[in-house]
Amino acid sequence: MVAHDEIGSFLPIKRTIRVLDVNNQSFREQEEPSNKRVRSLARVSSLANLISPVRNGAVKRFGQTIQSFTLRGDNRSPACAQKSFNRATVPTPSKRRNSVRWSEMLDINMKESLTTKEIKRQEAIYEMLRGEQDLIEDLKPARKAYHDPMLKLSIMSEEELTHIFGDLDAYIPLHEDLLARLGEATKPDGTVEQIGHILVNWLPGLNAYRGYCSNQLAANALLDQKKQDARVQDFLQRCLESPFSRKLDLWSFLDIPRSRLVKYPLLLKEILRHTPKDHTDIKPLEEALLVIQGVLSDINLKKGESECQYYIDKLEYLDDKQKDPRIEASKVLLCHGELKNKNGHKLYIFLFQDILVLTRPVIRNERHSYQVYRQPIPVKELVLEDLQDGDVRMGGSFRGAFSNSDKGWIT
């Protein structure tokens, strides 16, 4: 892949940045004597697809880190490494709950009276109901076992806890409502005739998660920072060893709503797959699927904008000339990630919808920031070209690649 940065009327120089998509294959930097040769960088993903317009703007798969298609394999932004907390651990229960399939609760006569397709349909409906029960059971300990004790013991301030936990426990009634509706629709024999109309009316309420999901990146960053405090680490470790945690750490509990949200379309598709075409529930189920897809797109878009602004706020400029207005105006972060050569030198890059920004990670007063390196490059001055797998070219160093030299290639 090639990216050309044309300086235009200001300088009669054309700068070329080549980025090779090697389909998840790592390759190493080659030594070279001049800045016209190339230094290979760590594994990267194709920028061609990322710069191309995507449907619904920033909306991609909600289940992935929104707007965080990184150029590294580990999908982590620079942060100080967490020291392992050494203490003896005690046996804890498994993460998995004991689950029973719907068909396993039927008596023989009832089971024989239903078709295989209907049994699978009822099992899919029961899986949705059981998932709501599990979600409610997981949301309740978040405040009682983590938030309230840490506040009472002054392990974290109320402001910090509010930033990390948000209104998590306020969503419990929302899911209890769905659970109650499904319970009312369940017949004495345990079957549910129609579920589509229930979901069409209930699913729009999930828009309440927009604020919570938009804050997740900042909340997780603050939690990671607080884990460096010995008191916080000790408390979280004790909770992890307690039976209620099921070996799940705090962030696993805080991330449960997001992971549940992405399951609704899958559950609906599974119910639809086992619903006969002439069933009265078909149209309501199809409508419900469109509703949840729209809800997730809205949440996804808001989350992407929030994460984009999060990183913009962490940029530090060495020169006012680097403050391109297209950075502050960005609403979409197409990708970001670390570039690293064999000597251990690193750059962290951000590809916004209109501009490419290269930075160096820095820590000031325990705050992680990104110091802008060189002049940001407008996307309109980038031209991408796909390279064949294994087509490694020779080129220059970071300095050569991103300076006003004739050409700077990154393979």
Tokens matching residue 160: 């910090």
The tally of CA atoms less than 13 A away on the side-chain side of residue 208 is: 15
Strands (E), 248-403: 315-316, 333-340, 346-352, 355-364, 367-372, 377-378
Question: What sign for the dihedral angle of Cα 146, 147, 149, 154?
Answer: positive
Tokens matching residue 204: 């729009």
Q: What length is written for the chain?
A: 411
Three-state DSSP state, 186: strand
User: 263-273 vs 116-141: helix axis angle to the nearest 10?
Assistant: 160
Q: Are 90 and 241 in contact (CB under 8 A)?
A: yes
The tally of CA atoms less than 13 A away on the side-chain side of residue 188 is: 0
C-alpha to C-alpha distance for 363 and 341, rounded to whole angstroms? 21
- The amino acid at residue 333 is L
Percentages of the chain per state (helix, strand, coil), in multiples of 5: 45, 10, 40
C-alpha to C-alpha distance for 131 and 177, rounded to whole angstroms? 13
Q: For position 342, what pLDDT does the model report?
A: 67
Tokens matching residue 186: 């369940």
Three-state DSSP state, 368: strand
Q: Are strands 346-352 and 333-340 parallel, antiparallel or unpaired?
A: antiparallel
Q: For position 299, what pLDDT does the model report?
A: 94
Strands (E), 255-366: 315-316, 333-340, 346-352, 355-364
∠ CA 178-179-181, nearest 5°, is 65
Per-residue confidence in pLDDT tens, the chain, 411 aa: 444 443 333 333 344 444 444 333 333 333 333 443 433 333 333 333 333 333 343 333 444 433 333 333 344 443 333 333 333 333 334 455 556 776 666 666 666 677 888 889 989 999 999 999 999 988 988 888 999 999 999 999 999 999 999 988 889 999 999 999 999 999 888 889 999 999 999 999 999 999 999 999 999 999 999 999 999 999 999 999 888 888 889 999 999 999 999 999 999 999 999 999 999 999 999 999 999 999 999 999 999 999 999 999 999 999 889 999 999 999 999 999 988 766 777 889 999 999 999 999 998 877 889 999 889 999 998 877 766 666 555 444 455 455 554 444 443
C-alpha to C-alpha distance for 386 and 403, rounded to whole angstroms? 23
C-alpha to C-alpha distance for 26 and 32, rounded to whole angstroms? 19
Domains of the chain: residue spans and CATH: 102-313 (1.20.900.10), 317-385 (2.30.29.30)
Task: Report DSSP letters for 31-83, one per residue.
Answer: P-SSTTSB---S----HHHHHS--TTTT---TTSPTT-B-SSSS-----PPPP
Tokens matching residue 205: 């309420």
Residue 396 makes CB contacts below 8 A (sequence gap 6+) with 32, 34, 35, 36, 37, 38, 39, 405, 407, 408, 409
Residue 339 makes CB contacts below 8 A (sequence gap 6+) with 41, 42, 44, 71, 346, 347, 348, 349, 398, 410
Tokens matching residue 68: 């965080």
Of residues 389, 388, 385, the one with CA closest to residue 409: 385
β-partners of residue 370 are 315, 361
Tokens matching residue 103: 């068909």
C-alpha to C-alpha distance for 152 and 190, rounded to whole angstroms? 44
